[in-house]
Amino acid sequence: MPRTSLLLLLPFDETLRRLPRVVLGVWLFGVGIAAMVYANLGGPPWDVFHQGVAAKLGLSIGTVIIATGGVLVLAFIPLGEQLGLGTLLNVVLVGVSADVTLACLPAGPSMWTRALLCAAGPVIVAAASGLYLSGGLGPGPRDGLMTGIGRRGFTIWKVRTAIEVGALVIGVLLGGTIGVGTAWFALSIGPLVQFCLQRLTPNR
Q: Where are the domains of the chain?
A: 17-200
- Find the angle CA(123)-CA(120)-CA(112) to the nearest 5 degrees: 170
Q: Is 141 helix (H, G, I), strand (E, B) or coil?
A: helix
* Predicted local confidence at residue 77, as pLDDT: 85
- The pTM of the full predicted model, rounded to 2 decimals, is 0.89
Residue 152 per-residue DSSP state: T
| Contact call for residues 3 and 82 (beta carbons, < 8 A) | yes
If one counts every other C-beta atom within 10 angstroms of the C-beta of residue 17, the result is 13
Distance between CA atoms of residues 45 and 167, nearest Å: 6
At a CB cut-off of 8 Å and minimum separation 6, what does 47 contact? 33, 36, 37, 61, 65, 171, 176
The 10s digit of each residue's pLDDT in 166-178 is: 999 999 999 998 9
Distance between CA atoms of residues 61 and 158, nearest Å: 27
Distance between CA atoms of residues 117 and 124, nearest Å: 10
At a CB cut-off of 8 Å and minimum separation 6, what does 92 contact? 66, 69
User: Tens-of-pLDDT digits for all 204 residues of the chain?
Assistant: 444 455 676 788 888 899 999 999 999 999 999 999 999 999 999 999 999 999 999 999 999 999 999 999 998 888 888 888 999 999 999 999 999 999 999 998 999 999 999 999 999 999 999 899 888 898 889 888 888 888 888 887 788 788 888 999 999 999 998 999 999 998 898 889 888 888 888 765
At a CB cut-off of 8 Å and minimum separation 6, what does 158 contact? none
* Predicted local confidence at residue 1, as pLDDT: 44
